[in-house]
């Protein structure tokens, strides 16, 4: 293979060489475990995130009992059908240290990155899904999929760096076409024929990559970093085109869905729910079809503006302007919003459970990490932000538990998730959020 570059190999293919020629070893085959999807092979491990906005009413959300078979207070009563598939984590803390408490920002940024942001527009580090995607997201068509039920393309808890948000899909139709449109290769199709157009596209991309290397020389350091990111992306895209030239292994659970209806803009809770469910079904089927192994669903998040028909305060406004009704131990409308969020969390987990994989379901092969941005949003509290997991991560964790963190770092759950996904870390987080302690209560 001396001097046989991948580009030359592809050129050879374009000029009529046999398609069966072995490509030089690609990075995408180096870093994944259990990737073979042929019959009988282990299913790949996947990582997902889910988010809701504006926390909880503690008295109605946090169970009195810990461990298994915990009680389900009213705000999490909708979780009864999924209780055995999830874990609930309460009484964990995030630490802002010398940074200010940035409303609706500090909490989620720490839980997703382990780092306290310094300003309301500061996004330090990278979110944990990005770290995981670098580890397990290289052998699929998409490295990292994001979607939001809010309809706003800026609503995302996933970013590569401070300047690069992983933009979520919000239109069911667009999401469908991206996932199951022309470029989708059905792994169960009876015949496979490498698309020569893909070879052409890949060759052209290789050319762009080579052509533009000189650009970097003229750039300052910040711009050079952005251009490096572009080239990394281009190389990644090139590798993913290789995947389209190889026959995918059949996957029993993969069924390309029909095209969904598109939905209007709006944040009416019913509409958000409908959008969330359509996007969830599309996303999870893409996971079942092994189009991606890392995926983020944003039901709602910071400054959630979901509305309740006929009520004049959107969710965020209500958290601040609605009085706590002492007898009810909550702000009734705010609690209504939280319950709607939990109904959607239940839907999401049930959707995972509906997808059969081998002798079980997709829940057996995923770890879903779910969190919110505040604990008691009325006063922007970040102590005790509740979190969940769903799935057993290939039998590596137990489920059905309520774990009281005893005031320890919330980043422990992020560290646990990262390690479960194979990321080799001795610790995660910075300053007071640094932790090297997994949450052993859930580990098998």
Residue nearer to another protein on the CB measure, 66 or 317: 317
Cβ 294 to another protein shortest distance, Å: 10
SS3 298: strand
Nearest approach in angstroms of CB 60 to another protein is: 18
In the bound state with another protein, the residue whose beta carbon lies nearer, of 64 and 193, is: 193
Name the minimum Å distance from CB 111 to another protein.
17
| CB-count exposure of residue 109 (10 Å: 0-12, 13-18, 19+) | buried
- Name the residue nearer to another protein (CB basis): 113 or 389: 113
Instruction: Give the residues across from 90 on adjacent strands.
Output: 404
Smallest separation, CB 401 to another protein (Å): 32
Q: Which of 150, 147, 348 shows the shortest CA–CA distance to 268?
A: 150
- Shorter beta-carbon distance to another protein: residue 331 or 411: 331
Helix or strand holding residue 165 (H, E): strand 164-165
- Please say which residue, 309 or 406, places its beta carbon nearer to another protein: 309
Q: Pairing mode, if any, of strands 145-148 and 159-161? A: unpaired
Region class of 84: left (phi > 0), else alpha (psi between -120 and 50), else beta:
alpha
Q: CA-CA distances (angstroms) from residue 225 to 39, 212, 241, 300?
A: 42, 14, 24, 31
Minimum CB–partner distance for residue 304 and another protein (Å): 12
Instruction: Take residue 404 and report the two structure tokens written for it.
Output: 């009281």
Between residues 145 and 351, which has the closer beta carbon with respect to another protein? 145
Least Cβ distance, residue 43 to another protein (angstroms): 23
Give the nearest distance from C-beta 3 to another protein in angstroms: 19
- Residue whose CB is less far from another protein, 150 or 409: 150
What is the C-alpha separation between 240 and 419, in angstroms, rounded? 25
Question: CA quadruple 279, 158, 349, 254: dihedral positive or negative?
Answer: positive
- Residue holding tokens 């397990």? 136
| Closer residue to another protein (CB): 141 or 402 | 141
Structure tokens at 184: 């989708």
State the minimum distance, in angstroms, from the CB of residue 262 to another protein: 12
Residue 301 Cβ vs another protein, minimum distance, rounded to whole Å: 14
Q: Which of 266, 328, 348 is nearest to 48 (CA)?
A: 348
Q: Whole-angstrom Cα distance, residue 35 to residue 251?
A: 12
Which residues have C-beta within 8 Å of that of residue 83, sequence separation ≥ 6?
70, 72, 400
Q: What is the rounded CA–CA span in Å between residue 280 and residue 223?
A: 36
- The per-residue DSSP string of 289-315 comes to TTS-SEEEEESS-TT---B-TT-SS-H
Q: In whole angstroms, how close is the CB of 207 to another protein at the nearest point?
A: 6
Q: Select 106 or 433, whichever has its Cβ closest to another protein.
A: 106
Whole-angstrom distance, CA of residue 368 vs CA of residue 86: 9
**Any idea what DSSP says for residue 19?**
T
Burial of 30 (0-12, 13-18, 19+ CB in 10 A): exposed
> In this complex, which beta carbon is closest to another protein, that of residue 194 or of residue 250?
194
């Amino acid at each position: 293979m001396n001097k046989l570059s991948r580009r030359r190999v592809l050129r050879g293919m374009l000029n009529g060489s046999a398609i069966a020629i072995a490509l030089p070893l690609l990075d995408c085959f180096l870093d994944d475990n259990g990737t073979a999807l042929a019959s009988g092979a282990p299913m790949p491990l996947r990582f997902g995130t889910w988010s809701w906005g504006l926390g909880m009413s503690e008295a109605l959300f946090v169970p009195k009992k810990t461990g298994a078979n915990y009680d389900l207070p009213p705000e999490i009563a909708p979780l009864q059908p999924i209780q055995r598939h999830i874990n609930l984590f309460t009484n964990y803390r995030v630490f802002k240290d010398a940074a200010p408490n940035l409303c609706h920002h500090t909490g989620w940024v720490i839980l997703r990155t382990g780092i306290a942001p310094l300003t309301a527009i500061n996004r330090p580090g990278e979110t944990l899904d990005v770290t995981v995607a670098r580890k397990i997201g290289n052998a699929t068509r998409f490295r990292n999929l994001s979607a939001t039920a809010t309809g706003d393309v800026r609503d995302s808890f996933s970013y590569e760096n401070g300047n690069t948000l992983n933009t979520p899909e919000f239109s069911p139709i667009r999401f469908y076409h991206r996932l199951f449109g022309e470029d989708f290769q059905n792994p169960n199709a009876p015949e496979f024929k490498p698309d020569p157009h893909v070879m052409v596209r890949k060759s052209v991309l290789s050319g762009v990559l080579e052509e533009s290397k000189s650009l970097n020389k003229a750039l300052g350091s910040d711009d050079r970093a952005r251009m490096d990111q572009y080239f990394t992306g281009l190389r990644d895209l090139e590798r993913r085109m290789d995947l389209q030239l190889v026959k995918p292994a059949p996957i029993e659970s993969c069924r390309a869905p029909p095209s969904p209806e598109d939905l209007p803009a709006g944040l009416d809770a019913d509409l958000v729910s409908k959008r969330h469910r359509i996007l969830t079904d599309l996303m999870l089927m893409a996971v079942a079809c092994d189009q991606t192994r890392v995926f983020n669903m944003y039901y709602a998040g910071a400054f959630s503006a979901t509305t309740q028909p006929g009520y004049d305060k959107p969710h965020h406004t209500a958290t601040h302007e609605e009085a706590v009704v002492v007898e009810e131990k909550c702000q009734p409308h705010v609690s209504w919003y939280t319950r709607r969020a939990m109904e959607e969390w239940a839907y999401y987990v049930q959707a995972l459970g509906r997808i059969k994989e081998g002798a079980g379901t997709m829940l057996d092969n995923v770890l879903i990490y779910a969190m919110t941005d505040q604990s008691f949003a009325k006063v922007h509290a970040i102590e005790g932000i509740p979190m969940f997991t769903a799935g057993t991560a290939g039998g590596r964790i137990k489920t059905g538990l309520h774990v009281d963190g005893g005031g320890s770092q919330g980043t422990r759950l992020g560290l646990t998730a990262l390690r479960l996904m194979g990321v080799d870390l001795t610790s995660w987080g910075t300053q007071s959020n640094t932790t090297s302690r997994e949450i052993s209560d859930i580990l098998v």
